[in-house]
Structure 1
Amino acid sequence: MSSFRPKYVTFDCYGTLTNFQMAEAARDLYGAVLEEAAMVDFIRDFAAYRLDEILGDWKPYADVIANALERTCKKNHVAFKPEHGEAVYAHVPTWGPHPDVPAGLAKVAKEIPLVILSNAMNAQIGSNVAKLGAPFHGVYTAQQANAYKPRMKAFEFMFDMLGCGPEDVTHCSSSFRYDLMTAHDLGIRNKVWVNRRHEPANPYYGYVEIENISALPGVFGL
């Protein structure tokens, strides 16, 4: 891909750039009442319900978290309290980047404009982006798009805002289910998978694999 210089490098934010800490939040809330094996099941279910919650019509992310947490608690026979969902949502803006992110992003940003497409609220994302250590040409949210990834509508909103098409970008994400499968279906040929070890490899979708963002400049021959 080093011979391809996109108009934009587009990114997922949470998980790919920002250290996504939903599992840690669940442990903080329920680790004292669940044995380790049950806690692992709880974390897995919480992730699955969050994905399920965003596949329909858009709703505020606070509702996504609260609904997913309540459903997870019900399945795992744990008492749910609304304030638990509120606490998890309130903590999201405090999350910072993975250690490898700032230097790698900054190097790419000197040559190619960076863009974020995130499953976030407008008021939520700014604090996380400010911690990433690099300038961004654009930051687009699910709230603006009125749709969450992996829905195509979110990506199409980003293309409309940038005035470009799938052929003009390289999309970078640590998630197939949220990003890279949809990117493939939309015709984004140039994709980068950041292997954060939370999903298995899936070569069918065609991508360059990197271990972390420190390796991203090399993808473009920088």
Structure 2
Amino acid sequence: MKSSIQALIFDVYGTLFDVYSVKEKCRDLYGDKGEEISIVWRQKQLQYSFLRQLMGQYEPFSKITRDALDYTLTKLELPYDEEKVETLLEAYRNLEAHPESAEILEQMRDKKIAVFSNGSRDMLEPLIKNSVLSELIDEIISVDDIKQYKPTPASYSYALKVLGVERHEVLFMSSNEWDIAGAKSFGFQTAWINRDGMPLDKLGMEPDSIYRDLTGILEWQ
């Protein structure tokens, strides 16, 4: 099946970019609380997107990210104002790419390369434009275009429509196993970028491949 791959779809947050690189800016503002802020912020960001999808109360990821940050700073009893919030949100629009991301995308240029994210375009487009990956991505796909968060089948169907390929012609990559489970259930071939060495979730959907970082996908050439 590897020979049938025409398009590579990469998740963005955690897969190509390190979501926890915001901890440096968090440390600038809040000292030794920086790492904890980055972790709780990410957890709440994901939780809010899942809950809003289930409730049918869609909000763009930029709003969810702001709300999750508000919750995090309140939970940790840290003082904040609009200036501090904007500083941290700007850091999220300038995340660091994982060290191997650019090299791997460059080596896979014979395929159509897309990113597909729960991020809204006001987050995704500045992030990619300001990064070393800006010239290596053919298509930016956001769930905000159809207001359906991953891992709903409708979200993956939209990405497929944008790219104009068949399900079996897609290799989908994410560091988030819930995203891999959703993509596998939809019919994509999948590669879980398991950067933290986590066990498989019990969702009945195993990825086609598991790698510690993106270098493993070179075997799909």
Q: TM-score, normalised by structure 2?
A: 0.80
Cα distance change, pair 184–134 in 1 and its aligned pair in 2 (3 A): same
Residues 54-93 of structure 1 mapped to structure 2, 5 A cutoff: 54-55=49-50, 56=52, 57-93=57-93
1:49 aligns with 2:44: yes
- Paired residue for 2:200? 202
Alignment partners' CA distance in 2, 1:42 and 1:16: 20
Structure 1 stretches (4+) deviating beyond 4 angstroms? Answer: 39-42
Alignment partners' CA distance in 2, 1:148 and 1:23: 25
Preserved contact between residue 96 and residue 128 of structure 1 (Cα < 8 Å): no
Shift of 1:209: 1.5
Cα distance change, pair 104–94 in 1 and its aligned pair in 2 (3 A): same
- Paired residue for 2:17? 18
Preserved contact between residue 26 and residue 35 of structure 2 (Cα < 8 Å): no
Alignment partners' CA distance in 1, 2:41 and 2:136: 32
Deviation string, structure 1 residues 4-49 (Cα, Å, up to 9, x no partner): 43121111012111232244443333225x4xxxx65544322221
Alignment partners' CA distance in 2, 1:19 and 1:215: 18
Alignment partners' CA distance in 2, 1:29 and 1:128: 21
- Paired residue for 2:168? 167
Shift of 1:77: 2.5
The secondary structure found in structure 2 opposite 1:115 is strand
1:191 aligns with 2:190: yes
1:129 aligns with 2:128: yes
Deviation string, structure 1 residues 136-182 (Cα, Å, up to 9, x no partner): 332101322323333333222212222344323110111113x1121
Alignment partners' CA distance in 1, 2:5 and 2:148: 25
Amino acid at match of 1:48: Q
Preserved contact between residue 116 and residue 136 of structure 1 (Cα < 8 Å): yes
The secondary structure found in structure 2 opposite 1:148 is coil
Q: Over the residues paired in the alignment, what is the CA RMSD in angstroms?
A: 2.6
Preserved contact between residue 109 and residue 134 of structure 1 (Cα < 8 Å): no
Amino acid at match of 1:100: E
Cα distance change, pair 17–136 in 1 and its aligned pair in 2 (3 A): same
- Paired residue for 1:108? 108
Cα distance change, pair 45–148 in 1 and its aligned pair in 2 (3 A): same
Cα distance change, pair 115–144 in 1 and its aligned pair in 2 (3 A): same
Alignment partners' CA distance in 2, 1:129 and 1:157: 21
The secondary structure found in structure 1 opposite 2:18 is coil
Q: TM-score, normalised by structure 1?
A: 0.80
Preserved contact between residue 7 and residue 165 of structure 2 (Cα < 8 Å): no
Identity among equivalent positions (%) equals 20
Q: What is the aligned residue count? A: 210
Amino acid at match of 2:78: V
Shift of 1:192: 0.7
Q: Unaligned stretches of 5+ in structure 1?
A: none
